[in-house]
Structure 1
């Protein structure tokens, strides 16, 4: 979840996925993606909390934690051009356009994140990320994911864009605006995305968001044992109460 301070409070960067995607087609989501085998590479310039720290927060081993952090940095760069890395442990790049070619090669899997960072003499800034949540796809879904959510503040000078094959459109908006768009039928939000937007809407600045210490408990929505079609998850009553009427949904996505 990429955030920045706006005139009306914190804003979050959102993408509407293209309709051809195998999972969550047409949905409005945060930038993200899967962990690649190369994300677990041990040789990488690293600044900030180490993999042991991340493993403790996400309840996993350090090797997996490193892969998760690397995947978050890589996918954020691939999908919106924001790079959480810098020449030194206390700096961050301000203009990522000079890495446009490398970004395209990363997306095509021609180079790994560690190879890219080494070639450009950059250090991954793990301290520019914070752990936020962990949602697991319900067992009723054919495609299942164990998803860790991160939060990061847009580095000064960098711009988030929509130059990715996976997004049909992108926008910055406050969490409240995003929730209003969903309620009005303009966007479709899966429960995990909705839940994070609700949480972010409680903060008055990106500094407050970044300073928050989220309690991360794995959440896997389930169908009630007594039967029914509505998944159970934290605050699901509010989600389904605010769910837009199908007649108000936009005709195309």
Structure 2
């Protein structure tokens, strides 16, 4: 029995990631966060804000503005309860990790400045406060219409920590400042997709396949309006982890260009 458990494939946990975008003189820019070294998952990697779904996300009772939960369930090919939790997690994690809050006093407004919620943000990150209680306390409406569904990636079989991650895109609200005031960030920056990819090719960052793929796709757009108007197909992408005695390699759709830059720092000797 012990051997069977040791060889069991971990079930992926639900997670949400939000790609924050804004218009700049040279085109669009994307908010990127370099995770702290030594973290259990993706330590040192450059990622978008996001994280796992909490139990409180599934049971949250909030004022909801925008597309219905049923619409989100259809777009992400899942059930209503799961869709609700994924959307709540997307907004919550974005607030926790970079201070951007996709909520407002009414269904057609958005918070202009989140600095006054700093203590609540810390409490949320420490799981001392639920997101629904925070929204109720501040009389805020969840603005799901500011989000768009974008992609769905599952961590390959073979990894000890696995996530079924839904990717969203959202325009960074005017007046709000995305920051790195979180225990999970070593550094944050706004970059165009092209510059982020160039920085990666030069060895300045480490991009896992899902992040690289989203940056590559977003490099095709010239404005936030174009991104928000897009309605991409959202297939479930489950990369294949290939290991030998020396290296790790991930095979995934449309990977041309990912390995052109040479070996990646995470492609280290396989664990023995």
| CA positional deviation for 1:116 | 0.3
* Alpha-carbon distance in structure 2 between the residues aligned to 1:142 and 1:57: 28
The TM-score with structure 1 as length reference comes to 0.93
| CA positional deviation for 1:229 | 5.2
The 5-angstrom pairing of residues 1-253 of structure 1 reads 1-223=19-241, 230-243=249-262
Secondary structure class of the residue paired with 2:237: coil
* Alpha-carbon distance in structure 2 between the residues aligned to 1:61 and 1:245: 37
Structure 1: state its 5+ residue gaps.
Answer: 247-253
CA 1:123–1:59: 2 relative to 1, 3 Å: same
How much is the aligned-residue C-alpha RMSD, in angstroms? 1.7
| CA deviation map 1:189-246 (0-9, x unaligned) | 000000000011000000101110010000011147xxx9532211223211134676
- Report which of the two has the higher share of helix: 1
Secondary structure class of the residue paired with 1:146: strand
Structure 2: state its 5+ residue gaps.
Answer: 1-18, 266-272
Does structure 1 retain, via aligned residues, the 8 Å contact 2:206–2:264?
no
Does structure 2 retain, via aligned residues, the 8 Å contact 1:87–1:123?
yes
| CA positional deviation for 1:41 | 2.1
* Alpha-carbon distance in structure 2 between the residues aligned to 1:46 and 1:216: 23
| CA deviation map 1:61-116 (0-9, x unaligned) | 01100000000000000000000000000000000001111111111111111100
Does structure 2 retain, via aligned residues, the 8 Å contact 1:47–1:124?
yes
| CA deviation map 1:7-58 (0-9, x unaligned) | 1100000011000210111000000000000001242110001110000011
- Report which of the two has the higher share of strand: 2
* Alpha-carbon distance in structure 2 between the residues aligned to 1:89 and 1:245: 44
Secondary structure class of the residue paired with 1:236: coil
Q: Number of matched residues?
A: 245
Does structure 2 retain, via aligned residues, the 8 Å contact 1:185–1:244?
no
CA 1:95–1:184: 2 relative to 1, 3 Å: same
The TM-score with structure 2 as length reference comes to 0.87
